[in-house]
Amino acid sequence: MYIVHVHIRVKPEFIQAFQEATLENARNSVREPGVARFDVIQQADDPARFVLVEVYRTPDDPAKHKETAHYNRWREVAEPMMAEPRTRVVYNDVFMT
Instruction: Read off the pLDDT of residues 55-95 as tens digits, 9 standing for 90 and up.
Output: 999 999 999 999 999 999 999 999 999 999 999 999 999 99
* C-alpha span between 72 and 24 (Å, rounded): 12
* C-alpha span between 31 and 34 (Å, rounded): 9
83 assigned to some structural domain: yes
- Residue 53: CATH number of its domain: 3.30.70.100
**3-state SS class at 18:** helix
pLDDT of res. 96:
85
* C-alpha span between 16 and 10 (Å, rounded): 10
State pTM to two decimals: 0.94
Handedness of CA 11, 16, 20, 26 (dihedral sign): positive
61 assigned to some structural domain: yes
68 assigned to some structural domain: yes
pLDDT of res. 97:
81
* C-alpha span between 69 and 9 (Å, rounded): 23
Number of domains in the chain: 1
Q: Which run of H or E residues covers position 90?
A: strand 87-92
Q: Which structural domain, as residue segments, surrounds residue 71?
A: 2-92
97 assigned to some structural domain: no
